[in-house]
Structure 1
């Protein structure tokens, strides 16, 4: 029974870390009418996809649903930070691109994100950060496998 309690503590601790990270993003990155997580998403785009990418790819990379990402993108488009570029071969496929406005403000966003990341991650040394990354990845892969099995079972039942 004690082992179950430890699992419960671990799960609640992971949930709290996620909430606290969101709170830190809000405190450190909030800018005008944009939330901290929205700014951090734009930082991700600037770092990993400065030439643009597709929503489906982003969903897989950052681990959010298309509906969640679509709501985020809608706000960023309205604020003038990102645009869509249609694919002439397939109009359903739209590439997400940073606008000039985002590129102009990118150094500010990137600098603030780096400061926040340093504040958060400096509590761990390099070895601890690497180990944490491996453990988190292992958990995410396990959880993704459970989700895929659930989807397969639902398809089988239909």
Structure 2
């Protein structure tokens, strides 16, 4: 009976020292897209509780569905991205302070794999201050819904 708690403690120590990634499934979610302009990045502040331990790396993977014929880039900022707000989103000019964390190309079909990762994504999650931005790279100004499905967060703890 005493060996079970000891096993848990040893497992926790080994996991903490190994920097091994941990996978957490996320619920499916949708993001409404409103008339993107190709020369702007639209940021949305993410709402979540700061993790109880520091993370050394965060990656988000899954599938993204949208209309065929468009290409998007995704960005992260761990500080307020700009001062221009409209209807609860930030509409910003491109800046070297924004880190590109992924892209999605819908030229070949409406569902594409998506992987988002980067230093500002990780630091934004660690600090509890994260803005995710989307830029239209190809296609005409568009409105619709981005469907995020089968998303998994892969995280590694700071040893």
Common fold by TM > 0.5? no
**TM-score, normalization by structure 1:** 0.27
Greater strand content: 2
Higher RCO by CA contacts (8 Å cutoff, separation 6 or greater) = 2
**TM-score, normalization by structure 2:** 0.27
Greater helix content: 1
